[in-house]
Amino acid sequence: MLSMHAIPEAFSVGECDAIVTAISQAPADPALLVGRNRDHNMRNADLVWTDKVDGLGWVMDRLIDLVRVANRDHFGFDLTAFEESPQVAIYRATAGGHFVWHSDIGGGPISAKRKLTLVLQLSPSGDYEGGTLEVMPGAQVLEASRAQGSVTVFPSFMLHQVIPVRSGVRHSLTVWAHGPAFR
């Protein structure tokens, strides 16, 4: 059965802090849903796309390697490209940061090609309460690691959510590996 795959300490604490520092200098955009609308009941977060931040090219190189190994060892999907830049999501308790149950495959031309979702935990777990990434590969709900620098990889069609952040701020980075649409 397909499930999520955890990669502990995929990035060092210093690397995570460097990413958060770099994106904090860039303007954040409100997180939009497929169809380019914003619905605070479904998702409330701000986003920074790493391709718009100087000095973060190394991050994508590392993510490509992580996805390659995870796919080879755990998923075996037909992957062809990364068509989207990694995004850093900023979930703030003061804004009710969250993202309800959803999958990353939608009706748009790019999201229909998403095969694997990779989420990097950028914030130390003590910086916020709530905000846990939950993945539902079947009847059970699995919690992703909250350890700073850990990566969680799962098929993009799996339901997942970020529970509401009750205090503090959670930063996470997400990228999608693409391939031919599932049949």
**91-106 confidence digits (pLDDT tens):** 999 989 999 999 998 7
CATH of the domain at 174: 2.60.120.620
Q: Pick from 131, 135, 155: which is nearest to 143 by CA?
A: 135
Residue 70 lies in a domain: yes
Residue 107 lies in a domain: yes
Looking at residue 112, the DSSP 8-state letter turns out to be G
Residue-wise pLDDT for 142-171, tens only, equals 999 999 999 999 999 999 999 999 999 999
What pLDDT does residue 181 have? 80
Residue 95 lies in a domain: yes
Examine the pLDDT at 30 and tell me if it is beyond 70. Answer: yes
Q: Which two tokens stand for residue 122?
A: 């950028």
Spatial distance between the Cα atoms of 176 and 157, rounded to a whole number of angstroms: 11
Residue-wise pLDDT for 34-91, tens only, equals 545 555 578 899 999 999 999 999 999 999 999 999 999 999 999 999 999 999 999 9
Examine the pLDDT at 5 and tell me if it is beyond 90. Answer: yes
Residue 183 lies in a domain: no
Determine the average pLDDT of the residues in 172-178: 97
Residue at token pair 């090609």: 113
Confidence of residue 31 (pLDDT cuts 50, 70, 90): confident
Residue 72 lies in a domain: yes
Determine whether 45 is exposed, middle or buried from the number of CB atoms within 10 Å of its CB (0-12, 13-18, 19+): buried
Total domain count for the chain?
A: 1
Residue 153: domain span: 5-178
